[in-house]
Structure 1
């Protein structure tokens, strides 16, 4: 018995602690139909509550300005503490929007917390039979990853309804979801009154190029799903990550978790987006910087890595498809979709 346990302990890391979907059991990649002017987008609150009706109205008007129609989920204005209603009610809205033939896309109004609580309640068979774009970021990462893992459906790490619908974000949103074309993700290079670019710079940690399926999202949410059955397979993927308002030691802790779970050893490349408000902070005995933590965890992987991409809790953001094939160039700081992420 002891010998058996020893063998199991030795082989566990090789088997993968992540409980990610094994490659031989992963569903085929499923592209959702592209969005078109006149299509209806369903608005849901799968995590935090919609405290402001004005915010929902601004979301509605923004989507209408894109030529889309809007349908509110039945439980959009529900509230259960810090959640937008009970788990059952929020899951009901997700399932209903996928089942509704009059709805062509689904957009979360807010992030927050609570999506992971819904994962056992989702109707993955219905979702797979009714593919449509699901869009959001932050806590919505749990839905994006789980739905892709269970159904193969490409999902979209992009704006939530309450985000700023500025030209940069709208252009990326349109290119990915409307225009059915390969997309190049490249940070703006505006010098302004300065002698060189000072804002939204790219940092190359390890130069090189790689190709693989895009998998990732919010680091906190992704790491919280480790050990569950709601993660896609990470083998040969391009991992993209972002976060907000996390102390540097917490980023260190979460990247360590990905390392110990075997995730980092499987990837073909890493794109680290923005970590907003992730400064070392004050006092005590000092801190590592975010740059140092990224170097320590990601440079030893010997795969292309760059940071600073327009992915994260920022006003100007890329819409990045989870599950789509992409090529990265870490020296140039670019990602390019291989084909379209929608049908």
Structure 2
């Protein structure tokens, strides 16, 4: 990034600080108090593509462009999207600069991560949260992108979106929720496809609260940092891939010991894709979930279409929802973008 570009981003941040947004104390820090909804997407809008985590191939960008063009969207790629630094898509400062610049660029109306992998936690201290707060726009992804979504929501109170990355399978199910929530500004009820994925009730009932969550291992790795939102009476959703069940147990135990699970009003486990029992004697995943969640005496269910699967919901982080553990639904109580 050029010096002028860095100076521009810094100036944008200072201008936002000067606006004196009301603040609230959370996680030992002062954060904005007002929930902020980004503007909705419209046909012809430009989407910024970023690579904040794992390495990207040129063919991935071309495929992503084709899929987004089908949705009537234009595409702008980050300056460092094809960089390589070990197993990361460029140096930390450059990956963070691409995010900051996409928020400052008035031609870009939404930001979508190319893929997950690993690396987003490393760049959280380098993001310009004041600039992001002053230039609200949709940012979306899942897996390792959980770090960005939770940190931006916590530090700016802007609604972020746990949904497909640019290299996801943009099938009818995924696109339908993406368009209804982000284009049409609908308050939808998310429900599994009939016969596609079975809903397993852990504890029956309904609960209302702020929707918060993402990838379990990424979330667990953020515990103790200033980059997590408030958990008080929230609806926590998590998903995972490729982890032995004992590791899921370990991560849920960390959330429990950190006092997170005791604060939530409801719990949803999406998919645990390719999760195994391992070589040693093991609990089943169902037993682990029951051990941790049943004592909380809150509604909970397993099997939501969230995470590493072809058909996936777009989950607005920070919006009020009502979950129904008996039938496995997540009902948005308000739109997550401005009309």
| 1:148 equivalent in structure 2 | 153
Report deviation, 1:300: 1.0
2:296 matches 1:301: yes
Over residues 263-283 of structure 1, what are the superposed CA-to-partner deviations in whole Å (9 max), with x where a residue is unaligned?
0000000011001011203x3
Report deviation, 1:141: 0.2
| Segment drifting more, 226-235 vs 173-182 | 173-182
Report deviation, 1:86: 0.1
CA contact (8 A) 2:154 2:229 kept: yes
| 2:34 equivalent in structure 1 | 28
| 1:270 equivalent in structure 2 | 267
Listed as ranges, the matches of 1:154-233 within 5 Å are 154-190=159-195, 199-233=196-230
Report deviation, 1:27: 2.7
> Compared with structure 1, are the counterparts of its residues 268 and 225 closer, same or farther at alpha carbon in structure 2 (3 Å cutoff)?
same
**Equivalent residues, number:** 314
Aligned pair partner of 2:277 in 277, 280, 297: 280
| 2:234 equivalent in structure 1 | 237
Listed as ranges, the matches of 1:6-85 within 5 Å are 21=27, 27-50=33-56, 52-85=57-90
Over residues 221-266 of structure 1, what are the superposed CA-to-partner deviations in whole Å (9 max), with x where a residue is unaligned?
0010000000000001000000100110100000000000000000
| 1:255 equivalent in structure 2 | 252
2:133 matches 1:128: yes
Over residues 3-31 of structure 1, what are the superposed CA-to-partner deviations in whole Å (9 max), with x where a residue is unaligned?
xxxxxxxxxxxxxxxx9636985532110
Over residues 184-225 of structure 1, what are the superposed CA-to-partner deviations in whole Å (9 max), with x where a residue is unaligned?
1100113xxxxxxxx410000111111100010000000100
RMSD after superposition: 1.4
Report deviation, 1:175: 1.2
Consecutive unaligned residues of structure 1, counting only runs of 5 or more, are: 1-18, 191-198
> Compared with structure 1, are the counterparts of its residues 23 and 215 closer, same or farther at alpha carbon in structure 2 (3 Å cutoff)?
farther
| 2:22 equivalent in structure 1 | none
Distance in 2 separating the partners of 1:155 and 1:205: 27
Distance in 1 separating the partners of 2:26 and 2:92: 24
Distance in 1 separating the partners of 2:300 and 2:267: 5
Moved runs in structure 1, 4+ residues, more than 3 A? 19-26
CA contact (8 A) 1:21 1:149 kept: no
| 2:91 equivalent in structure 1 | 86
| 2:5 equivalent in structure 1 | none
Report deviation, 1:316: 0.7
> Compared with structure 1, are the counterparts of its residues 296 and 219 closer, same or farther at alpha carbon in structure 2 (3 Å cutoff)?
same
CA contact (8 A) 1:273 1:307 kept: yes
Distance in 2 separating the partners of 1:20 and 1:265: 17
CA contact (8 A) 1:41 1:71 kept: yes
| 1:290 equivalent in structure 2 | 285
Distance in 1 separating the partners of 2:229 and 2:269: 18
2:315 matches 1:320: yes
Distance in 1 separating the partners of 2:43 and 2:58: 25
Distance in 2 separating the partners of 1:331 and 1:25: 36
Distance in 1 separating the partners of 2:250 and 2:99: 32
Distance in 2 separating the partners of 1:175 and 1:254: 33
Aligned pair partner of 2:115 in 92, 105, 110: 110
> Compared with structure 1, are the counterparts of its residues 20 and 138 closer, same or farther at alpha carbon in structure 2 (3 Å cutoff)?
farther
Report deviation, 1:332: 1.1
